[in-house]
């Protein structure tokens, strides 16, 4: 029988670090669900959390403690690739993940040896965000946070006093800061607010090794040859398709050649038919957040009546909104229509999220033509499913004199 002593009595606020295991030998490693394959640690960089992340979610079960927290796949607001992890308060973690025995050493040379940690994170609301690493013998002794360490968990290293309202990339020297250790688990901690987003989590032997992987992931490595029309068409189909691996590869190429792709993207987006009444669906989703209860209720009823064509848009709205009302009604609609309750393991990526990858290419291009197309998308004239994405992209671009 595993004995647990919690310093903070409230289960929903119990920090990982303050769980003391009375009989360490009796803690069983989390067993992997179908589809989970531990990352291979024989190269200079190992990806802990980047693409194909949903099988890992089932392992982050808070060590079966019953502690509050939810984790889902984020399909639009990502640092790189096509997916990230979205964690709502408080956290999701596992102290022992199958296949995780990553050794942190001063001079890594052999398989499974690393020194540096790199990750990207972003916070939606609240005052703090945190990542915690579990060591085989030192337990939860490595923590990094930005903003406020809301619960005062120690030891903890402040990365920044400022909360990352946009995606920020963080690199830490684990050996210098914590000495030799063996990482067996992780905690993705939202602390407070609406949600915390995590992406591109790597262990590397050197900074240079990490930089190579990050540059490739962000689409900063140009293809060796110019794209032919046939190859471009095939890559477009892959980029906006449902196969995540193919989408990642194609997206990297489009990002690396972004200024050259603007006219092509405009042509493809204007060919996307509105056969399912996207304009009407978008209007009804906006009305889910109306000040009038009657308007909100009528919009929900109409979306349910429209059926399957609304599922993608409602799922996207429920996942990305800051409105509790929209989130609540989106869950009701999806449950009624059999479309799940939001983005996450097992859910097909919606059309809007897939097309939003093109918005990222336009933002990377940043040309006058790209801005003009983003403006049309933001206004709902083109690809209305991506209007919010385009507005956010335009806001991030440098102001034109």
CATH number at residue 51: 2.60.120
Q: pLDDT-based confidence at 6, cuts 50/70/90?
A: very low
| Domain presence at residue 132 | yes
On whether both 44 and 165 belong to a single domain, the answer is yes
On whether both 197 and 242 belong to a single domain, the answer is no
On whether both 262 and 165 belong to a single domain, the answer is no
Picking from 217, 236, 263, the residue at the C-terminal end of a domain is: 217
Which pair of structure tokens corresponds to residue 378?
A: 């933001």
* Distances, alpha carbon 140 to alpha carbons 120, 161, 182, 304, in Å: 20, 22, 11, 46
Reduced to 3 states, what is the DSSP secondary structure of residue 365? Answer: helix
Does position 194 have pLDDT exceeding 80, yes or no?
A: yes
On whether both 199 and 61 belong to a single domain, the answer is yes
| Domain presence at residue 8 | no
User: Which letter does DSSP use for residue 308 in this model?
Assistant: G
Which pair of structure tokens corresponds to residue 120?
A: 């990207």
> Residue 351 is inside which H or E element, if any?
helix 351-365
Q: What is the pLDDT of residues 63-100, one digit of tens each?
A: 999 998 999 999 999 999 999 999 999 999 999 999 99
| Number of domains, the chain | 2
User: Which letter does DSSP use for residue 31 in this model?
Assistant: P
Quick one: 112 exposed, middle or buried, by C-beta within 10 A (0-12, 13-18, 19+)?
A: middle
Q: What is the pLDDT of residues 336-378, one digit of tens each?
A: 876 544 444 346 677 888 999 999 999 999 999 999 999 999 9
Interatomic CA distance for residues 189 and 206, integer angstroms:
26
Reduced to 3 states, what is the DSSP secondary structure of residue 261? Answer: helix
Handedness of CA 147, 153, 159, 161 (dihedral sign): positive
Picking from 182, 199, 217, the residue at the C-terminal end of a domain is: 217
On whether both 86 and 159 belong to a single domain, the answer is yes
On whether both 226 and 286 belong to a single domain, the answer is yes
| Domain presence at residue 35 | yes
What is the predicted pLDDT for the residue at 28?
41
Count CA within 13 A, CB hemisphere, residue 332. 17
User: Which letter does DSSP use for residue 316 in this model?
Assistant: H
On whether both 311 and 240 belong to a single domain, the answer is yes
Which residues constitute the domain of residue 198? 24-217
Q: What is the pLDDT of residues 92-125, one digit of tens each?
A: 999 999 999 999 999 999 999 999 999 999 999 9
| Domain presence at residue 72 | yes
| Domain presence at residue 6 | no
Which pair of structure tokens corresponds to residue 324?
A: 């509790």
Picking from 194, 217, 240, the residue at the C-terminal end of a domain is: 217
200 forms beta bridges with none
| Domain presence at residue 186 | yes
On whether both 252 and 207 belong to a single domain, the answer is no
Q: What is the pLDDT of residues 127-185, one digit of tens each?
A: 999 999 999 999 999 999 999 999 999 999 999 999 999 999 999 999 999 999 999 99
On whether both 109 and 183 belong to a single domain, the answer is yes
Percent of residues, the chain, with pLDDT higher than 90: 72
| Domain presence at residue 185 | yes
Interatomic CA distance for residues 148 and 128, integer angstroms:
5
Mean pLDDT, residues 218-234 taken together: 94
* Distances, alpha carbon 110 to alpha carbons 107, 135, 288, 336, 385, in Å: 9, 19, 55, 53, 48
On whether both 314 and 360 belong to a single domain, the answer is yes
| Domain presence at residue 130 | yes
Average pLDDT of the residues of the chain: 87
On whether both 209 and 224 belong to a single domain, the answer is no
Residues 6+ apart with CB under 8 A from 8: 14, 15, 18, 151
On whether both 328 and 198 belong to a single domain, the answer is no
Identify whether the C-beta of residue 333 lies closer than 8 Å to the C-beta of residue 314.
yes
State the pTM of this model: 0.79
């Amino acid at each position: 029988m595993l004995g647990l002593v919690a310093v903070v009595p409230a289960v929903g606020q119990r920090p990982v670090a303050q769980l003391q295991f009375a009989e360490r030998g009796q803690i069983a490693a989390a067993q992997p669900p179908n589809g989970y394959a531990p990352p291979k640690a024989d190269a200079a960089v190992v990806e802990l959390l980047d693409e194909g992340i949903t099988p890992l979610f089932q392992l982050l079960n808070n060590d079966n403690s019953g502690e509050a927290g939810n984790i889902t796949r984020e399909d639009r607001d990502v640092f790189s690739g096509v997916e990230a992890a979205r964690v709502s308060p408080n956290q999701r973690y596992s102290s022992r993940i199958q296949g995780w025995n990553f050794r942190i050493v001063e001079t890594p040379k052999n398989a499974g040896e690393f020194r540096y940690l790199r990750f990207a994170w972003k916070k939606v609301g609240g005052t703090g965000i945190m990542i915690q690493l579990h060591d085989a013998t030192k337990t939860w002794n490595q923590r990094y946070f930005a903003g406020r360490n809301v619960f005062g968990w120690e030891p903890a290293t402040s990365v920044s006093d400022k909360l990352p309202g946009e995606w920020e990339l963080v690199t830490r020297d684990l050996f210098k800061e914590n000495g030799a250790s063996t990482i067996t688990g992780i905690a993705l901690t939202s602390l407070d607010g609406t949600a915390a987003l995590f992406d591109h989590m790597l262990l590397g032997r050197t900074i240079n090794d990490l930089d190579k992987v990050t540059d490739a992931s962000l689409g900063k490595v140009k293809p060796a040859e110019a794209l032919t029309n046939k190859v471009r068409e095939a890559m477009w189909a892959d980029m906006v398709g449902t196969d995540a691996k193919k989408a990642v590869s194609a997206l990297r190429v489009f990002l690396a050649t972004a200024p050259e792709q603007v006219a092509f993207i405009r042509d493809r987006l204007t060919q996307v038919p509105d056969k399912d009444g996207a304009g009407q669906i978008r209007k009804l989703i906006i009305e889910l957040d109306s000040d009038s209860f009657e308007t909100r209720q009528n919009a929900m009823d109409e979306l349910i009546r429209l059926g399957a064509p609304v599922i993608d848009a409602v799922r996207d709205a429920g996942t990305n909104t800051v409105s509790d009302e929209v989130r609540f009604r989106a869950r009701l609609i999806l449950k009624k229509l059999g479309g799940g309750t939001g983005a996450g393991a097992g859910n097909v990526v919606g059309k809007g999220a897939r097309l939003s990858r093109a918005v990222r290419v336009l933002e990377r291009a940043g040309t006058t033509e790209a801005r003009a197309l983003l403006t049309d998308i933001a206004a709902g004239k083109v690809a209305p499913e991506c209007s919010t994405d385009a507005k956010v992209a335009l806001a991030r671009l440098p102001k034109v004199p």
